[in-house]
């Protein structure tokens, strides 16, 4: 038997042994284990699909108004497939790292492996610092976006309070995420989160069709390059859930089965994002240019209120997805990661929430933030770093010969792998980071100049002027 095959089978046996031990630890509590402690392929699929699209679902119609219908559809498919490829690369590198550590008799029963540790183990401390910086910053702003989105959405049900006040309230609510130990414990939340997103997506689609096109609707996009590339980077951001890929893999009983899960999750997500974006842009056209939240253009009724509430719950779940890896990093910094007490861990995690809360209050416009995060952070975290890391990990003939995972059946040549990864790096640097960064920063700066930092109620309807015998409407 070939040495690499032996190493792979040894790793699989070791993982199965650790998984069995963990199952035994929870076998006494069948119902909690059923709802709380998941590590199957299905759990991973639900986690990937649920985490991939949340609040960004409401901003994609805004991106379509910036780019036009055809570009919006094409780039969703393109970046979805591109993101699935780099998620596959991350899974390969994780298996490679785990296999090498297995040969050193290193076990991870009480330790959650993270992306920066994979980079460190395969490529050294410089890559570790780069991965840690980009991942943590991306997750930080991902959490901020969910918090801003919560305040924006609840305003469409209850406008007695301004959005900044709602941000204070939801910041306190999201603080409860510190009690969720790891991604093993997102089984029921991932399932519910995806169901809520599915409802919201199809509500947007059906409501837009039933509403019909507004009078005098126009579809002028794309008109300006800055708007076009801002929308493109928001779509790039949509399929950038890779910052938690390693944590989701590590929570699996058999992480070697992850390879195609992200692609399958993306294909399902297409059924949510494309119909809703197309229907909303068809119905409202250029009005979306000034309404980054799709809810704001639909008439208020019980269906919209239900969609808002479900999206709020899902955003809480997605906030947990984004913030939990940050909790892990902080725990490792202060040497609390191996602590078994949930309450002690929760207490030590609280300082991570403060900068998230503060940034959500400073920058309350999540549409432009999505694009800026996409151009400046997702480009590297999701596309460039995984592709380069794969190329450098297997640059030597011995590394390729002893690789734990060989190239896929549809691209069996290592040369082909290098060509695909090289094209991704060049494309994303020029189009995503270069043009997208210019457009997003320009748009982001414009939003700050127009609405100011610490905006009390970003994109809220202006009060109607008071008339005799009638008080002005309150917003």
Q: What is the pLDDT of residues 245-268, one digit of tens each?
A: 898 898 888 888 898 899 999 999
| Residue range 30-89, pLDDT digits in tens | 555 555 667 888 989 998 998 888 778 888 999 999 999 999 999 999 999 999 999 999
Structure tokens at 227: 């708007």
pLDDT, residue 91, reads 94
Average pLDDT, the chain: 83
pLDDT, residue 159, reads 78
Where on the phi/psi map is residue 313: left (φ > 0), alpha (ψ -120 to 50), or beta?
alpha
CA separation, residue 371 to residues 172, 240, 347 (Å): 26, 12, 33
Structure tokens at 12: 């699989």
Residue 147's nearest CA partner among 282, 280, 324, 317 is 317
Q: Which is more confident, 467 or 213?
A: 213
pLDDT, residue 79, reads 93
Residue 382's nearest CA partner among 205, 232, 198, 242 is 242
pLDDT, residue 261, reads 92
pLDDT, residue 396, reads 93
| Residue range 384-414, pLDDT digits in tens | 999 999 999 999 999 999 998 999 988 889 9
Determine the Cα–Cα distance for residues 414 and 402; give it in Å rounded to an integer.
13
CA dihedral for 443, 444, 448, 449, sign (positive or negative): negative
**Domains along the chain with CATH numbers:** 38-451 (1.20.1740)
| Residue range 265-311, pLDDT digits in tens | 999 999 999 999 999 999 999 999 988 888 889 988 899 999 989 98
| Angle at 211 (CA atoms; ends 210, 214), nearest 5 degrees | 145
pLDDT, residue 208, reads 96
**Using an 8 Å Cβ cutoff, are 131 and 350 in contact?**
no
- Beta carbons within 10 angstroms of residue 302's beta carbon: 7
| Residue range 234-250, pLDDT digits in tens | 888 888 777 788 988 98
CA separation, residue 431 to residues 8, 69, 228, 229 (Å): 38, 19, 11, 8
């Amino acid at each position: 038997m070939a040495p690499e095959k032996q190493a792979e089978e040894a790793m699989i046996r070791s993982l199965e042994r650790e998984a069995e031990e963990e199952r035994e630890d929870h076998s006494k509590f069948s119902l909690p284990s059923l709802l709380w402690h998941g590590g199957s392929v299905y759990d991973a699929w639900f986690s990937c699909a649920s985490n991939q699209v949340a609040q960004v679902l409401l901003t994609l119609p805004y991106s379509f108004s910036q780019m036009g219908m055809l570009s919006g559809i094409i780039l969703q498919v393109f970046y979805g497939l591109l993101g699935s490829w780099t998620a596959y690369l991350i899974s390969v590198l994780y298996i490679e790292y785990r296999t090498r550590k297995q040969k050193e008799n290193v076990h991870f029963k009480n330790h959650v492996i993270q992306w920066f540790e994979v980079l460190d183990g395969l490529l050294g401390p410089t890559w570790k610092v780069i991965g840690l910086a980009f991942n943590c910053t991306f997750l930080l702003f991902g959490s901020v976006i969910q918090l801003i989105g919560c305040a924006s959405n609840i305003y469409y049900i209850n406008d007695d309070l301004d959005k900044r006040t709602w941000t204070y309230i939801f910041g306190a609510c999201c603080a409860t995420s510190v009690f969720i130990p790891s991604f093993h414990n997102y089984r029921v939340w991932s399932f519910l989160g995806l169901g809520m997103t599915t409802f919201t997506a199809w509500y947007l689609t059906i409501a837009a069709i039933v509403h019909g096109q507004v009078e005098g609707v126009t579809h002028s996009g794309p008109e300006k390059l800055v708007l076009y590339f801002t929308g493109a980077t928001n779509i790039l951001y949509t399929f950038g859930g890779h910052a938690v890929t390693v944590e989701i893999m590590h929570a699996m009983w058999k992480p070697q089965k992850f390879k195609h899960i992200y692609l399958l999750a993306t294909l399902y997500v297409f059924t949510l994002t494309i119909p809703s974006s197309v229907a909303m842009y068809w119905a409202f056209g250029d009005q979306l240019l000034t309404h980054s939240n799709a809810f704001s253009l639909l008439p208020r009724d019980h269906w919209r209120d239900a969609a808002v509430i479900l999206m709020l719950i899902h955003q809480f779940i997605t906030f947990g997805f984004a913030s939990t890896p940050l909790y892990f990093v902080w725990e490792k910094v202060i040497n609390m990661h191996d602590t078994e007490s949930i309450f002690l861990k929760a207490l030590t995690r609280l300082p991570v929430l403060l900068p998230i809360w503060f940034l959500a209050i400073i920058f309350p416009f999540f549409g432009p933030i999505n694009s800026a995060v996409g151009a400046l952070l997702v480009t590297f975290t999701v596309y460039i770093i995984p592709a380069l890391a794969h190329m450098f990990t297997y640059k030597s003939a011995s590394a390729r010969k002893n690789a734990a995972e060989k190239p896929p059946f549809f691209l069996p040549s290592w040369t082909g792998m290098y060509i695909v990864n090289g094209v991704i790096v060049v494309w994303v640097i020029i189009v995503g980071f270069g043009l997208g960064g210019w457009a997003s920063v320009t748009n982001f700066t414009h939003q700050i100049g127009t609405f100011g930092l610490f905006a009390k109620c970003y994109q809220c309807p202006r009060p109607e002027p008071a008339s005799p015998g009638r008080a002005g409407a309150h917003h």
